[in-house]
Amino acid sequence: MATDTGEALRPFTRARDAGAEARVAEAVRALVSALTDAAGDAWAGAALGGALGLGEGATIVARDGTGRPGDPFELLAVLDAPVRDVPALSRHLARAAAETAKSRRLEASVKAVARRGLRLLPPTMWNMELVAARRVVAGPPDLLPPYADVFRGNPDRVEGVRLLTRTGADLLSAERLVDRSASGAGAREALRSVRAADLALGAVVLLSAGRWTPGALQRDEALRALAAAGPENPRRTGFHVLMNWTRFRDLVERHHAAALALSEPEGAEAPDARRQAARAGDRFMEVLRLFEEERLGVPLPNWTEYAIALARRRSGATVSELFGDEDTPADLAVTGRLARKSAKSWPLAERLAPAVAALLDWDPSDLPIVPVLLGLPDLAGREVLRQRAIAWSANV
């Protein structure tokens, strides 16, 4: 049995800070121990996903001057159990991970899969990066199948929507933090969200261009290669061809800076946190609009039209009228109830995306769709709307 806990092996963080590496290794051992006990005889092993699994974790300098990891612990538990038993075991594992994470003041999550289902993992970005990283933290070294045996090509386009939705919600969190204070720990956390957003936007550009690859550093190389081709390249594909070339270059440079920042522990300064969060919001909204125009095949001049396009796609033209089309029914109370009922049937990422964008944009003409999509009263305040969007994004 092999356990990759970082010592003398691959680092978990790009900065390779000794304190951060030791804390990650200790936390991984504790989480694996708790999960092993929770799974019992069904335990086969586990792999570490996310940034820490890829060795691309960020490092934060704690108050005592030591480094600590800046990313959550995301594990995949592999079980020798029938597929029908996995949901129940998953709940036991989730409780065990939550209790261990709480006692150690860290963020952790766990997914579970039957060993026989490993080659049938859906092509989500998270799954693809986990298999590519092959960071087995418990079990035999060949616990995970080869990447080429499981995945072909790019993730599904809906993965781009999910990533953008989570990114937008993170920027809402950053906005809240800088609203309270443009300096201090909150501002530094906001800047972490900005850097994460820049990495996510680059990933979505590459997904659109058919060049997505696992790992932020590999994507940085692919994105710079895409930019190096120049605006006149006749073989350019993807929505970035519709971007102003200067703005596209800025997106590429921001992605590169965010990737390089992983190699150094986070500093104590938070320069221009409020302005940087606002500009990241602008970049996010442009990428979301262009990506969804490409995916949905319709122009999206505003976030209300975006919600209408999703409604048409999911429920037909009659439901689109509930979001403000020309023939709005006379009974507004009935209309509102029907709109809310319709939105509940949408995938959570699609339900949240227009709401998050409208909250970041804060254009009064688009704000009426937000409480409808979020299932809140029409007169709900901005802070209530932001809190609901942020909370729901954790389940996207």
Per-residue pLDDT reduced to its tens digit, 168-193? 999 999 999 999 988 888 999 999 99
Helix, coil or strand: residue 107: coil
* 126-146: pLDDT as tens digits: 999 999 999 999 999 999 999
From residue 124, how far is each of 55, 121, 167, 216 by CA, in Å?
19, 8, 16, 15
Is residue 386 scored above 90 in pLDDT? yes
Enter the tokens of residue 389.
Answer: 């969007």
Residue 317 has pLDDT above 80, yes or no: no
Alpha-carbon separation of residue 136 from 2, 9, 52, 317, 373 (angstroms): 7, 12, 12, 49, 40
Q: Dump pLDDT digits (tens) for 334-378.
A: 556 667 778 888 999 999 999 999 999 999 999 999 999 999 999
Task: Taking residues 141-167, report their average pLDDT.
Answer: 96
pLDDT the model gives residue 326: 47
Mean pLDDT to the nearest integer, 109-115: 98
Task: Average the pLDDT over 151-175 and give the result.
Answer: 96
Region of poorest pLDDT, from 53-57, 130-134, 199-203, 312-316: 312-316
8 pLDDT above the threshold of 50: no
- Give the mean pLDDT of 202-215: 97
- Reference 138, options 242, 38, 252, 281; nearest CA is 38
pLDDT of residue 4: 58
Answer whether residue 260 shows pLDDT above 50. Answer: yes
- What average pLDDT does range 282-292 have in this prediction? 98
What is the pairing mode between strands 108-114 and 73-79? parallel
- Comparing 112 with 232, the larger pLDDT belongs to 112
Determine the average pLDDT of the residues in 215-243: 87
55 backbone dihedrals φ, ψ, rounded to 5°: 80, 20
CA torsion sign for 67, 69, 218, 2 is positive
User: Which pLDDT does position 154 carry in this prediction?
Assistant: 93
179 CB contacts (<8 Å, ≥6 apart)?
none
Cα–Cα distances in angstroms (integers) from residue 298 to residues 36, 104, 301, in the given order: 49, 48, 10
Q: Identify the residue with better confidence: 233 or 72.
A: 72
Integer Cα distance of 241 and 219 in angstroms: 18
The mean per-residue pLDDT over the stretch 219-248 comes to: 87
The DSSP secondary-structure symbol of 66 reads: -
- pLDDT score recorded for residue 222: 96
Beta strands in the chain (DSSP E): 43-49, 59-61, 67-69, 73-79, 108-114, 136-138
Global model pTM greater than 0.85: yes
Express as a percent the part of the chain with pLDDT over 90: 81
Single-letter amino acid, residue 204? V
Q: How many residues does the chain have?
A: 396
Q: What is the pLDDT of residue 1?
A: 47
- Decide if pLDDT at 5 tops 60: no
